[in-house]
Amino acid sequence: MKDELETVFERTDWQVMPDNLTLLQNWILDVKKLQIGKMVWPVQGTFAAFRKKTHGVSVVITSQQLQLLKNDQLNLTFASKDIKKCTVFLEENMRQPTIAATTHPRFHTIIQIETDDTNYYFQVYGAQAGWYLVTHANTIWNVPTADPLNLKQFAATDDDEQLMIQINKFGYYNLVKGTKYEFSNQKIIVTRN
């Protein structure tokens, strides 16, 4: 029998924020930008300074709250005191960006926010955001932050590509083995963004 998490991962991700925000409950929302303090993922590159506006969904985490924005307009706020738990894990993804120079698997960081009512899942490209959140959780916010895949074990690096290489050397199977995320290694995910 499938658990709730497996069901969430079988669903197609929300690529845009729905008008009815209750539709986000127990679904994954694809996030174009995650900001924690002054840090931003995925790394925006050389042309970031020329972009005036983020198109799509952004998540901003501060010491007091988690904000969900659509095209830079605030849509939903969770006060830190209302978040029971934050769980950070990775999903392996074999789909390659068109400019990728590597053929190894890539990763998405998944941030699960648990409230009294439901769960919300936010997905952002790369592993660096997840590593940063679990290694700096105590300085970022007062929300219990779980690291079930032990992402803290990987060496500090400012380069997302280098972190993905470390994870691939360790092996995604070894990372999820014995956890409730082991199901995600049962199939190669090629259709999820």
Task: Quote the pTM value.
Answer: 0.87
Q: Which domain holds residue 118?
A: 4-185
Higher pLDDT, 34 or 3: 34
Domain count, the chain: 1
Overall average pLDDT of the 84-109 stretch: 78
pLDDT at 100 over 60: no
Does residue 124 form part of some domain? yes
193 found inside a domain: no
192 within a domain of the structure (yes/no): no
- Entry field: residues in the chain: 193
Q: Which stretches does DSSP call E strand in the chain?
A: 28-30, 33-36, 39-41, 57-61, 65-70, 73-79, 85-93, 106-114, 119-125, 145-146
Domain-located, residue 153:
yes
Q: How confident is the model at residue 126 (pLDDT cuts 50, 70, 90)?
A: very high
Q: Considering only 51-65, 96-110, 171-185, which range has the smallest mean pLDDT?
A: 96-110
Instruction: Using the predicted structure, report yes or no on whether residue 10 has a pLDDT greater than 50.
Output: yes
34 inside domain: yes
- Domain-embedded: residue 99: yes
- The reply to whether 84 falls in a domain is yes
pLDDT of residue 56: 86
Per residue in 57-83, pLDDT (tens digit) is: 999 999 999 999 998 899 999 999 999
The mean pLDDT value for 104-112 works out to 91
Is the residue at 190 inside a domain? no
